[in-house]
Structure 1
Amino acid sequence: MRRSGRKTTKGRGVRVLTRAQRTTVLHRAAWMVAEINDAQPKCVEGVALLDRVADLVHIKAEPVPVAVAVQGPAGSCLLGEAVDGVIPVSAGGRVIRSPTTALWSGAGHLVLFSSEEKTLFDPTLDQVNPATGFARGALIMPVTADELFTEDLTLTVDEGVKVLYRAVRGDTSWRTAYNTTYARSGLSARTVARRALELEGFDEDLVPA
């Protein structure tokens, strides 16, 4: 049933929306995945879920293994061996290294990247919140493929918090777990996609239950 005040669309299927509208829905979904994740170090699960949502709304995207360094008011955090040494430690300061990255091969984190939308989606970066003071929620940034894959991507967000992403495309240690999680996330992805459509004012039935 369509609720009053919702933007209606003719026909069925999410392709009746413009690409810009579908991208807006994916942005909303990224924030929803961040809320579901609740700042846990579960990037494989979070990105697999968002990737499946991207498929449902017909936005081309791919998971990218990265190493991440974050420096904030509460301290610093490294996710992945490939960024060891990039954060200078001030006197009395310290850097936290995530224990969950031990099984990676240089990377320590996953993001979702859409080349056609020139956008990086990181729904689980707020796992560094306790160590750095980085805000809760998703990080969504305009990024080109050249910026992400050919050089370190450095961002300043949330009143001076510094984030550095270093793509580590040779790290495939995450792939088996990712594929398994992606395959199991169909129902959850449809739930997230439908709710994101609804919150953006579209008919959630554009994605079948």
Structure 2
Amino acid sequence: MGTDRFGRDIFARILHGGSISLLVGLCVVLLALLIGGPIGLAAGYFGGKTDVVLMRFSDVFLAFPPLLLPIAITAALGPGLCNAMIALAVSWFPWYARIMRASAMTVRRELYISAARNFGVGHLRILIRHVVPNSLTPVIVQASMDFGFAILAAASLSFIGLGARAPTVEWGLMAADARTDFLDHYWTALFPGLAIFVTVLAVNLIGDGLSEILGPKRGGQE
């Protein structure tokens, strides 16, 4: 893969940057799930005014374009990888809130939930023991597909100077540093971009596979 203008090995930097990019994708998805999951769970299980208030709160974040809100938050907090992860998680949590809400609304209508209530089981115990485990499948599928997009979004923020900062090695930052040398040394930008492409494609294929495995089975004959 050659070297950059400072003589640094691009292959070694891509391998090192891969661990950071994968960690960024994992942290963004987990943080978004930790924020949106409880909100959607409470909205779907309790319903009524709780549902209205929590969902309208989430809709405020959905009103912004997908990448505009992270850019605004990162610009306000200051450039940096941690701030970029927080900004992405804040902009993505409403999707997990909506998914968890829909699953919780379906589960709460089940007979075993009514039976647990009739036996005097508390709401918190019902949520932890019954609603959460039976509502995770669509969330897991969505998280597996968002993992790649989180890597891509973090690389985009780094590319425009709002994400990772030197000396951190990150694929988007590597591509940004190669802009001035791209015409004469194309490989300095080609291979970081190719690493992002291959990783996002692989993660999306895994997400599609999980969707087929964990999704509802359709009956009937072909």
Larger radius of gyration: 2
More helix by share: 2
TM-score in terms of structure 1 length? 0.26
